[in-house]
Amino acid sequence: MSGITPTSGNETKICFLVSESNPELKFILLDKVPFVLGRTKLTGITDLKLSKSQVKFEADYSKNRVLVEQLGSNQSAVNNESMIKGEKRLLYHGDKVSLLFNSNYIFNLNFVPNAMFKSYGLESNKRLTNSPDQYIVAKKFRSNIAAKWETKDGTLLVYNSSNLVHKNKIAAFDMDGTIIVTQSGKVFPVDYKDWKISCPEVTKTLRMLSNDGYKIVIFTNQGGIGSKKVNENSFKEKVENIINVIKIPIQVFVATQGDIYRKPAPGMWNTFVSDYNGDLSVDMNSSFFCGDAAGRPDRIDSNSQQIKKDHSCCDRLFAINVGLKFYTPEEYFWKIPTEEFKLPSFNPIDVLSNIKYTDSNSKLLSSCKEMIIMVGSPGSGKSYFASNVLGCHDIKIFSRDKLGSWQKCVSEVKKFLSHFSCCVVIDNTNPDKESRKRFIDIAKSFNIPCRIFQMNVSKKHAIHNNKFREITDKKHQRISSIVINVYFSKFEEPSMEEGVDEIVKINFVPHFKDPKQEELYKMYLL
């Protein structure tokens, strides 16, 4: 029965269950009509382990699928994966349902065209009481499929094991340092064969989770693929070999670039929920994420061995961002107490309290001719402030980025002040006294006031802003974090002794195009 493939065209269709042990026993599922199977005269099953109302089915003809729900106390199974009371799964053409786990009470699900009814002996079935809807081809079956790789947006790799079953409960794991470690003992694998399961508890636990109704999903950062340091095909083979050893269906998401998909950003999780779980909602209270990048400092283990600090906190932050409970491998597999950890000092939620650009009584613009020298790193919001706040008034903005050099910038400012009487804004980073002095001297030569507007933004805040802009605005030129680090290494705090009339601290006030952007900004992205 599972070998039948629906055909396209405007044909009527019907959905039915057929017993694997007794092919004469068939039940038609009508569209949107609940149907329950169990220990009844309908099935002929008398096993007391089976509830009279064991499993409920509800077909959706518009999507060529069936929602199945476990009602009985004892486990049933979908495609040989156990299902517990209250759990729901989605079934597609060819899937198998066992009314009891590890039993012979198996039914195959089929969607077939009307033209094939007679070949299945369905024309006289008394349960068929109305005409089925028009037949619509299901474009993808997310279960009972051959294993395959997919690529999304050119940077996210997704692997679906064969016979993958979508579930409400998700047991999510990091890969390196959690599911596997290197066979060589080195920090980084020497090749795609340099791996082993991190400990015996891993395989045992994953299999137990799968049997208890969890879908196993791996979320891993693999920037080496994007930088071409790791061969993509070899890595794929490595993933498949790992899953072959564990011997259960697993879904794997691989972030290969520093974009929205790279942990701790939520892109991999959001894509999994929206596109790769068969439209089943996730039971967030039962689901969790386990990873080794947890922000732990240098420590001593139970065997008095020195362990180096975690390379990052990205796994813990990923769980925080998407709202999952978090465990380290030691906490989850070995049941040791929660270890000490440290979250980043910069929390993006803190800066959203800024509603005013300045906390002082200073005016942002003067009524007289003056010079304003901006001071701020890339990612500080300096140029946005200059263009969208100051630029709304009668001023002229000069930028080294647009003019090409500070020499050209100095020349153009002098030329402009010689002919016009409005305010000028110097939209350069101006981190040190030397860079600011060039323009302070010009203001003095024209005998006009000069003020410094210093962006009140820390290095971590600027890097966060830069990362947010990078993953939300593909058109914006990418700025490396190294550029921001260089700015702060050269930075000299502005002083009145430099010969300016006032120094005004400018707060970063975020602006978002939509609520989703604001939600993303509040997350840990670094």
Domain-ending residue, one of 102, 120, 138: 120
Kindly indicate the confidence band of residue 125, based on its pLDDT and cuts at 50, 70 and 90.
very low
What pLDDT, on the 0 to 100 scale, is given for residue 13? 73
What pLDDT, on the 0 to 100 scale, is given for residue 146? 59
Average pLDDT over residues 188-194: 89
What pLDDT, on the 0 to 100 scale, is given for residue 11? 54
Is 153 found in the same domain as 115?
Answer: no
What pLDDT, on the 0 to 100 scale, is given for residue 278? 81
Is 171 found in the same domain as 313?
Answer: yes
Summarised one tens digit per residue, pLDDT across range 241-277 is: 999 999 999 999 999 999 999 999 999 999 999 999 8
**Residue partners of 152: CB distance under 8 A and separation at least 6:** 158, 271, 275
95 has pLDDT over 80: yes
Number of domains in the chain: 3
Domain-ending residue, one of 306, 334, 362: 334
- Check residue 391 and report its DSSP letter: G
Is 297 found in the same domain as 383?
Answer: no
Is 115 found in the same domain as 180?
Answer: no
CATH code, domain carrying 497: 3.40.50.300
* φ/ψ bin of 334: left (φ > 0), alpha (ψ from -120 to 50), beta (otherwise): alpha
Average pLDDT over residues 114-140: 37
* Residue 375 Cα distances to 25, 142, 410, 426, angstroms: 79, 54, 16, 9
Is 190 found in the same domain as 84?
Answer: no
Kindly indicate the confidence band of residue 337, based on its pLDDT and cuts at 50, 70 and 90.
confident
- Domain of 188 in residue numbering reads as 148-334
118 has pLDDT over 60: no
495 has pLDDT over 70: yes
Whether 433 is covered by a domain: the verdict is yes
Average pLDDT over residues 329-343: 89
Is 386 found in the same domain as 318?
Answer: no
Whether 349 is covered by a domain: the verdict is no
% of residues, the chain, pLDDT over 70: 91
How is residue 348 written in tokens? 């993006």
What pLDDT, on the 0 to 100 scale, is given for residue 354? 66
The three-state (H, E, C) secondary structure of 195-208, written as one string: CEECCHHHHHHHHH
Is 183 found in the same domain as 114?
Answer: no
Helix (H) or strand (E) holding 466: helix 459-472
Whether 186 is covered by a domain: the verdict is yes
Is 233 found in the same domain as 174?
Answer: yes
What pLDDT, on the 0 to 100 scale, is given for residue 136? 25
Q: State the average pLDDT for the chain.
A: 86
What pLDDT, on the 0 to 100 scale, is given for residue 481? 85
Summarised one tens digit per residue, pLDDT across range 454-473 is: 999 999 999 999 999 888 88
Whether 354 is covered by a domain: the verdict is no
Whether 65 is covered by a domain: the verdict is yes
Cα separation of 390 and 384, whole Å?
9
Average pLDDT over residues 469-496: 88
Whether 364 is covered by a domain: the verdict is no
Cα separation of 468 and 39, whole Å?
56
Whether 205 is covered by a domain: the verdict is yes
119 has pLDDT over 70: no
Q: How many C-beta atoms surround the C-beta of residue 178 within 10 A?
A: 23
Per the DSSP assignment, residues forming a β-bridge with 299 are 307
Q: Hey, what's the torsion of the CAs at 460, 465, 471, 475, to 10 degrees?
A: -130
Cα separation of 124 and 418, whole Å?
97
